[in-house]
Amino acid sequence: MARNKARRLKDKKRKQQFREKVSSSYVYFPVNTVGKERMQLLLNLESTKTQNTNQATDVLSSLQLAAPATFQTITGDGNCFFAALSYTICGHQRFHDIIRQRICNHFIQNQNDLKGYLPPQYKGNANSYLVHTRMRENKTWATEVEIFTASHLLQTDIYTYTKSGVHWVWLKHSTITLSDNRGIYLYHKNQNHYDVVLTTSTQPVLQNFSSGLQTYLCDQLKKETQKMKNAEVKDKARQNKIAKEQYIENKKIKERKDKEKKNRNERLRYSTDKVYKENKKKSGKLKYSTDKVYKENKRKSCRLRYSTDKVYKEKAKKSGKLKYNTDKVYKENKQKSCRLRYSTDKVYKEKAKKSGKLKYNTDKVYKENKQKSCRLRYSTDKVYKEKAKKSGKLKYNTDKVYKENKQKSCRLRYGTDKVYKEKAKKSGKLKYNTDKVYKENKQKSCRLRYSTDKVYKEKAKKSGKLKYKTDKVYKENKQKSCRLRYSTDKVYKEKAKKSGKLKYKTDKVYKENKQKSCRLRYSTDKVYKEKAKKSGKLKYNTDKVHKENKKKSGRLRYSTDKVYKENKKKSDRIRYQTILKYKQSKQVSSIMKYANNSIFRNKLKEMSRSKYRTNTDFQMRLKTQNCKKYKNNTEFREKVKSVSKNKYQRYESLRNKLKASSIKRYSSNPLFRCKLKTMLKTKYHNDINVREKKIANRNSIQKAITKFQKSIQDHPLYVCTVCIRSLYKSQVKKCNRAKYSNEKASECLTGNFVHTCDKHCEVKCEKAKEWICFTCHRHLSLNNMPPQAQANGLNLEPIPPEIEKLNDLERQLVALRIPFMKILCLPKGGQCGVKGPCINVPCDLNSVTATLPRPINDAQLIKVKLKRKVEYKGYHKFGWINPANVQEAVQFFLKKQ
In sequence order, the β-bridge partners of residue 832 are 825
Average pLDDT of the residues of the chain: 81
Percent of the chain with pLDDT over 70: 88
Q: What angle do CA 699, 703, 707 make, to 5 degrees?
A: 175
| CATH of the structural domain 5-204, one choice from 3.40.1170.60, 3.40.50.970, 3.90.1150.110, 3.90.70.80 | 3.90.70.80
Q: Which of 7-11, 763-767, 885-889 has the highest mean pLDDT?
A: 885-889
Q: Which residues contact 366 (CB under 8 A, 6 or more apart)?
A: 359, 360
Asked if residue 185 lies in contact with residue 159, where contact means CB atoms within 8 angstroms, the answer is yes
State the pLDDT confidence band at 786, using cuts at 50, 70 and 90.
very high
Comparing 723 with 204, the larger pLDDT belongs to 723
> Does residue 685 carry a pLDDT above 60?
yes
* DSSP assignment of 623-662: HHHHHHHHHH-HHHHHHHHHHHHHHHHH-HHHHHHHHHHH
**What length does the chain have?**
897
> Does residue 549 carry a pLDDT above 80?
yes
The model carries a pTM of: 0.28
Residue 459 dihedral angles phi and psi, to the nearest 5°: -60, -45
Note the pLDDT of residue 220: 60
Architecture of domain 718-781 in CATH?
Answer: 3-Layer(aba) Sandwich (3.40)
Note the pLDDT of residue 366: 86
Please give the C-alpha separations between residue 180 and each of 47, 132, 156, 436, 711, in angstroms, as whole numbers.
21, 35, 7, 105, 106
Closest CA to 884 of 854, 842, 844, 843: 854
DSSP class of residue 873? S
State the pLDDT confidence band at 830, using cuts at 50, 70 and 90.
low
Conformation bin of residue 157: beta by default, left when phi > 0, alpha when psi is -120 to 50: beta
Note the pLDDT of residue 460: 85
Q: Which amino acid is at 306?
A: Y
Q: How many CA atoms lie within 13 A of 339 on its CB side?
A: 5
Encode 677-717 in three state secondary structure: HHHHHHHHHHCHHHHHHHHHHHHHHHHHHHHHHHHCCCCCC
> Parallel, antiparallel, or unpaired: how do β-strands 718-719 and 726-727 relate?
antiparallel
pLDDT tens sequence across 27-83? 778 888 888 888 888 888 876 554 444 434 444 444 567 788 888 889 888 889 999
Residue 124 dihedral angles phi and psi, to the nearest 5°: 75, 15
The Cβ of residue 205 has, within 10 Å, a number of other Cβ atoms equal to 13
Q: What is the mean pLDDT of residues 459-481?
A: 85
* CA 498/CA 492 separation, integer angstroms: 10
Note the pLDDT of residue 217: 53
In sequence order, the β-bridge partners of residue 865 are 878
Note the pLDDT of residue 551: 84
DSSP class of residue 742? S
Note the pLDDT of residue 191: 83
Please give the C-alpha separations between residue 623 and each of 614, 627, 628, 632, in angstroms, as whole numbers.
15, 6, 9, 14
Burial class (CB in 10 A: 0-12, 13-18, 19+), 88: buried
pLDDT tens sequence across 364-373? 888 888 888 8
Crossing angle between the packed helical segments 562-578 and 544-560, to the nearest 10 degrees: 120
> Does residue 219 carry a pLDDT above 70?
no
Q: Which residues contact 21 (CB under 8 A, 6 or more apart)?
A: 167, 168
pLDDT tens sequence across 226-244? 776 777 787 778 878 888 8
* CA 189/CA 714 separation, integer angstroms: 113
Give the DSSP H/E element, type plus range, for residue 44: none
Burial class (CB in 10 A: 0-12, 13-18, 19+), 146: buried
Q: What is the mean pLDDT of residues 802-809?
A: 80
- Whether the ω angle into residue 120 lies within 30 degrees of 0, i.e. cis, is no
Note the pLDDT of residue 13: 44
* CA 471/CA 461 separation, integer angstroms: 15
Asked if residue 162 lies in contact with residue 171, where contact means CB atoms within 8 angstroms, the answer is yes
Q: What is the mean pLDDT of residues 379-398?
A: 86
In sequence order, the β-bridge partners of residue 839 are 820
Q: What is the mean pLDDT of residues 861-878?
A: 80
* CA 881/CA 377 separation, integer angstroms: 113
Q: What is the mean pLDDT of residues 319-335?
A: 86
Burial class (CB in 10 A: 0-12, 13-18, 19+), 631: exposed
Query: Which of 25-34, 178-187, 306-315, 707-716 is predicted least confidently?
Result: 707-716
DSSP class of residue 537? H
State the pLDDT confidence band at 11, using cuts at 50, 70 and 90.
very low
Percent of the chain with pLDDT over 90: 2
* CA 771/CA 732 separation, integer angstroms: 6
DSSP class of residue 142? P
Rg (CA), the chain: 62
Question: Residue 52: helix, strand or coil by DSSP?
Answer: coil
Q: Which residues contact 649 (CB under 8 A, 6 or more apart)?
A: 655
In the chain, what is the straight-line distance between the N-terminal and C-terminal CA atoms, in Å? Answer: 139
Q: What is the mean pLDDT of residues 420-448?
A: 85
> Does residue 164 carry a pLDDT above 80?
no
Asked if residue 114 lies in contact with residue 107, where contact means CB atoms within 8 angstroms, the answer is yes
Q: Which amino acid is at 40?
A: Q
State the pLDDT confidence band at 14, using cuts at 50, 70 and 90.
very low
> Parallel, antiparallel, or unpaired: how do β-strands 183-189 and 157-164 relate?
parallel
Please give the C-alpha separations between residue 264 and each of 250, 267, 270, 584, in angstroms, as whole numbers.
21, 5, 10, 117
Task: Check for a shared fold between 5-204 and 718-781.
Answer: no
User: E-strand spans in 708-775?
Assistant: 718-719, 726-727, 732-734, 771-773
State the pLDDT confidence band at 774, using cuts at 50, 70 and 90.
very high
Asked if residue 884 lies in contact with residue 849, where contact means CB atoms within 8 angstroms, the answer is no
Query: Which of 4-13, 405-414, 553-562, 744-753 is predicted least confidently?
Result: 4-13
Where exactly are the structural domains of the chain?
5-204, 718-781, 801-896
State the pLDDT confidence band at 850, using cuts at 50, 70 and 90.
low
Q: How many CA atoms lie within 13 A of 843 on its CB side?
A: 21
